[in-house]
Amino acid sequence: MREADLVIVGAGWSGLVMAKTYLDCHPSTKLMILDAHATLGGVWAQERLYPGLLTNNMLGTFEYSDFPMDETFGVKSGNHIPGEVVHNYLRQYAEKHDIYRQIQFRSKVTSVERRPDAGWTLTLHQGDNDHETECILARKLILAVGLTSQPFLPDFPGASEFDPPLLHCKDLSEREEDLIKASTNVVVLGGTKYAWDAVYAFASAGVRVDWVIRKSGHGPCWMSPPYVTPFKLWLEKLATTRCLTWFSPCIWGDSDGFGFVRRLLHNTRIGRWFVDKFWGLIDADVCSLNGYDKDPDLEKLKPRTSAFWVGNSYSILNYPTDFFDYIRNGTVKIHVEDITRLSSRTVHLSSGESIRTDALICSTGWQRRPIIKFLPEGISRELGLPHESDGTHARLIHEADEHILSRFPRLGRQPVINPIYRPLDSSTYDKPLEPYRLYRGMVPPAFFQERSIAFSGFVLSLSTSLIAQAQALWLTAYLDGSLSPGNQSSNESEVQWRFAEESILWQTVLHSQFGKWRYPAGYGKDHPDFIFDAIPYIDMLLRDLGLEHHKKSHWVAECFQPYTVQDYRGLVDEWRLKA
């Protein structure tokens, strides 16, 4: 059996920077990266790219702080970044930092088993042969597979009779070109950004699209122009401007050192009035720019709730031509209905309408549970992974809910997103699942003291690269023992550890419950999902490390200038000097 000091599962944004950061601090470590794909990048692996794929981010906001995406990558200022460029960027990053040779591709981890003598045994399949397996011993393990690995495809009545391709948006990378050539009409199901991308890909190629947005679902996602408000401000940078983050209720927000401002905004009537006006301005501006109220067909794309209640599913119109033109000219027809069944080449809707089609493309989300099996049976609960609620933390959950609503009264007035909502597959959620319960979104509380396992990249945010590198440094300090809860000495007494463990569990429950109240129109009830809370999240991690989290040169810049990747350049060196 091969062995490694540290095994990282996943070679995407989080996995690569985790490897680089750990090796910077511990160059003699025997490290291994395992990835199921044939190329690196995770979501941005070569085999997951499709023609026309662009990031929500524009140049300068989707890169590591120590590796600028310069002019050699061919992206102009103010442009969204093509998927192919992101993949090439990540490959060059891995090659420059000598990480690429550490990656073992086409290695799908199927199970992770805790060893009695500490460490973890990983079982993996090599290539396409499910019978060819290997076991690897990891003394420490980082799961960096993210939250969009395993697609969820509904079980439609009549699917066996359908005949044309029925696929998840994830599979468009392999089949889009052939489908465009072979199709005159397709059906796209869903209202997420993946659905918008699929609709645009086919419509812009001249294929007619019947776009089905479930009447019983969450509705269409928020889609914003890159520049918003009457001042035409860059949306991505609004989300990382500290003074604007104050308008988002955030349970870890006081980590930014401006708790008094946050209390003024969220704990006073006049403050909440300003908060409501801020979010109302964003809502009204986006709806006006997109023309939702000027066209009955476009109105079907108007979100069902305020952007206030939405996390990272708030997306950006990054298409080279006007998306809405295809709806105005009839290339795209929107149906706010449910699919009741399928039959031969036909999709049947709840309205009674039947649509003949050459393909059904589903943007129907991702499996909530990890695709990796954790052993022994039942350990998923200890690992803080989604599991059926058993009441273990009922008291803490109740106290956390009360604390959240006391701290942020506005969250007590939850929106009714859809009174007739029902999940796509009623069997999927027969019993409610606990959310990911990970300390700081990374570490199972039950394993904190053992320091042998953690999760990276299990946060949905527009600030992917900023969070990935902050998590990587925090996890490096955690795994090597130099980080302790409360920033205490690493020689805590047993009594101190008991109090620390109680604090870790409380903060874990508090933060994971917060998502349920803050982002009910997003994925907050399942895992961390946010936009305007990214900078205070990074503040919290840096404060845990004892590092300065205010990176600007003076208070005016600190409050009113957006944070960028350049502000965090040299973070690892700063930690190494301190440690």
Claim to verify: residue 337 and residue 387 sit in the same structural domain: no
User: Which uninterrupted H or E stretch holds 290?
Assistant: helix 269-290
Q: What is the pLDDT of residue 496?
A: 57
Claim to verify: residue 202 and residue 350 sit in the same structural domain: yes
Q: What is the pLDDT of residue 429?
A: 46
Helices (H), 1-130: 13-25, 83-96
d(CA 296, CA 271): 36
Q: What is the pLDDT of residue 275?
A: 98
Phi, psi of 577 (to 5 degrees): -65, -40
Q: Extract the tokens encoding 128.
A: 């396409």
Claim to verify: residue 11 and residue 112 sit in the same structural domain: yes
Residue 234 lies in a domain: no
Reduced to 3 states, what is the DSSP secondary structure of residue 490? coil
Q: What is the pLDDT of residue 495?
A: 53
Q: Which pLDDT band, with edges at 50, 70 and 90, does 188 fall under?
A: very high
Q: What is the pLDDT of residue 225?
A: 94
In angstroms and rounded to an integer, the radius of gyration of the C-alpha atoms of the chain is 24
Q: What is the pLDDT of residue 431?
A: 64
Q: What is the pLDDT of residue 490?
A: 44
d(CA 91, CA 94): 5
Q: Which pLDDT band, with edges at 50, 70 and 90, does 422 fall under?
A: confident
Q: Extract the tokens encoding 568.
A: 């965090």
| CA nearest neighbour of 413 among 510, 514, 512, 518 | 518
Claim to verify: residue 336 and residue 299 sit in the same structural domain: yes
Q: Extract the tokens encoding 456.
A: 């990276």
**What integer best gives the mean pLDDT of the chain?**
93
Chain-centroid distance of CA 472 in Å reads 16
455 pLDDT exceeds 60? Answer: yes
Residue 144 lies in a domain: yes
Residue 397 lies in a domain: no
Among 35-39, 231-235, 329-333, where is mean pLDDT lowest?
Answer: 231-235
What does the pLDDT look like over 121-170, one tens digit per residue? 999 998 877 777 999 999 999 999 988 778 889 999 999 999 999 999 98
What does the pLDDT look like over 516-541, one tens digit per residue? 999 999 999 999 999 999 999 999 99
Q: Helices 172-182 and 193-203 meet at what angle, rounded to 10? A: 30
Tell me the mean pLDDT in the region 475-497: 70
d(CA 443, CA 140): 12
> How many other CB atoms are there within 10 angstroms of residue 519's CB atom?
25
Claim to verify: residue 169 and residue 44 sit in the same structural domain: no
Claim to verify: residue 13 and residue 121 sit in the same structural domain: yes
Q: What is the pLDDT of residue 488?
A: 45
Most confident range (mean pLDDT) of 87-96, 167-176, 495-504 is: 87-96
d(CA 31, CA 570): 23
Claim to verify: residue 260 and residue 383 sit in the same structural domain: no
Residue 457 lies in a domain: yes
The Cα-based distances of 268 to 207, 406, 407, 519 in angstroms read: 53, 12, 11, 21
Residue 483 lies in a domain: yes
Tell me the mean pLDDT in the region 198-211: 97
Give yes or no for a contact between 332 and 202, defined as CB atoms under 8 angstroms apart: no
Q: What is the pLDDT of residue 497?
A: 55
Q: Which pLDDT band, with edges at 50, 70 and 90, does 498 fall under?
A: low
Claim to verify: residue 183 and residue 266 sit in the same structural domain: yes
Claim to verify: residue 57 and residue 204 sit in the same structural domain: no
What does the pLDDT look like over 537-558, one tens digit per residue? 999 999 999 999 999 999 999 9
Beta strand pairing status for 185-189 and 208-212?
A: parallel
Eight-class DSSP state of 457: S
> How many other CB atoms are there within 10 angstroms of residue 389's CB atom?
13
Claim to verify: residue 266 and residue 174 sit in the same structural domain: yes
Tell me the mean pLDDT in the region 481-492: 64
Q: Which pLDDT band, with edges at 50, 70 and 90, does 46 fall under?
A: very high
Q: What is the pLDDT of residue 489?
A: 42
Tell me the mean pLDDT in the region 108-112: 96
Claim to verify: residue 141 and residue 183 sit in the same structural domain: no
d(CA 571, CA 576): 9
The domain in which residue 562 lies consists of 2-150+367-391+434-488+528-578
What does the pLDDT look like over 340-389, one tens digit per residue? 999 999 999 999 999 999 999 999 988 877 889 999 999 999 999 998 88
Number of domains in the chain: 2
d(CA 437, CA 402): 18
- Of 362, 382, 410, the residue that ends a domain is 362
Reduced to 3 states, what is the DSSP secondary structure of residue 44? helix
3-state secondary structure 239-265: CCEHHHHCCCCCCCHHHHCCHHHHHHH
Residue 291 lies in a domain: yes
Q: What is the pLDDT of residue 510?
A: 98
Residue 264 lies in a domain: yes
Report the CATH number at residue 310.
Answer: 3.50.50.60
Claim to verify: residue 332 and residue 387 sit in the same structural domain: no
- CA torsion through residues 255, 522, 399, 260, sign: positive
Residue 514 lies in a domain: no
